Amino acid sequence: MKTKSTGLTLQDLGNKSFTIKTPSNQINLHCLLVACGKSKSGKGFFITNLLHQLKQAGSMDRIFLVSDTAKSNKKMLERLKIDEDDIFPTEDDSCIDEIINRIEKERDDLVEYRERLKLFEQFKSYMEDARFKDLDEITPEMLLFFNPETGEFEKPKHRYNGKKPVIGIFFDDVQSTPIMASKRFRNLAIKARHVGAFDSGETPLGCSLFIAIQNWTSVGQEGVPKSIRGNLTCCAIYKTGNWKELELLTTELSGVIPKNEIMKHYDYVMNVDPKNRHNFLFVDLFPKKEHPSPFRLNYVDFIVDW
């Protein structure tokens, strides 16, 4: 069997991707990450640590949290620097719309900052001498930059100094909640990278999703919706005795990584310390080129071929 060229070529006609710099040993962003494990297995512990590390590295700017138990963990909120206004309960899926609105507000603030910065540069030479001239020479545009408290013309300010904010949404303790059965939630998983689109056609802000869940799939609103399972980029798999669930999970991930490879590495992780229920296999479906493996033990150690 052989091929014969048609003379045609294909090229990327869309926007360049919004490149988010993360440390070389961290995952790519944007991501859709699911941590699946039984109660008290350590899912929240892992995700909060991951978000904290991304924050410290400057790879995560704002975190929205959907949880009914978050406010009881004040120390975690302080470490992740999550504003209280960015915490939402799980019983009302309208929080999805509110989070999207706030991401779009971040986009609007960035656009406004850029526009004001252009004006500032245009009038900068005039503003330097404006206080020594007649007030009639001060234009309305120039007054945009005048601070009456200091009596000075000041450069526009932006919360992230002109940088596109990197945004994450952590869905914690959402088992058996209306969120899991929500159409809004499913749609967000599909279009997360496209949230906060610019009228100019510039690459959208987008957002990353981090979801802690107890069951991969089940009857009603308990498991991970199929639309989310089909858009995963990463998965943390904890110990389970439900082989049918594990079979489905590994089968669905096998579209990217062979099922037998996932199971081989899962067995390895679960037998490193059989009594430790907090061990988990981390599967990165789209690892960086420099990563020696798409598999990790408890996220902190790559699992290399033996």
Report the alpha-carbon distance of residue 35 to residue 44 in Å, rounded: 8
Non-local (6+) Cβ contacts of 76 within 8 A are 48, 70
Structure confidence at residue 228 as a pLDDT band (50, 70, 90): confident
> Mean pLDDT over all residues of the chain?
87
Report the alpha-carbon distance of residue 252 to residue 180 in Å, rounded: 19
Report the alpha-carbon distance of residue 198 to residue 108 in Å, rounded: 9
Task: Report the 10 Å Cβ neighbour count for 110.
Answer: 21
pLDDT at 211: 94
pLDDT at 203: 92
Report the alpha-carbon distance of residue 39 to residue 37 in Å, rounded: 7
Tell me the whole-structure pTM to 2 decimals: 0.89
Q: Name which residue leads in pLDDT, 249 or 134.
A: 249
pLDDT at 134: 55
Average pLDDT over residues 86-98: 91
Structure confidence at residue 17 as a pLDDT band (50, 70, 90): low
Give the tens place of pLDDT for each residue, 173-196. 787 788 888 899 999 999 999 999
Evaluate whether 281 touches 249 at the Cβ level (below 8 Å): no
Average pLDDT over residues 120-124: 80
Average pLDDT over residues 223-247: 88
Burial of 304 (0-12, 13-18, 19+ CB in 10 A): exposed
Structure confidence at residue 207 as a pLDDT band (50, 70, 90): very high
Give the tens place of pLDDT for each residue, 80-90. 999 989 999 88
Structure confidence at residue 222 as a pLDDT band (50, 70, 90): low
| Closest among 191, 228, 177, 225 to 66, alpha carbons compared | 177
Report the alpha-carbon distance of residue 110 to residue 104 in Å, rounded: 10
* Least confident interval from 56-65, 137-146, 158-167, 263-272: 137-146
Average pLDDT over residues 90-96: 89
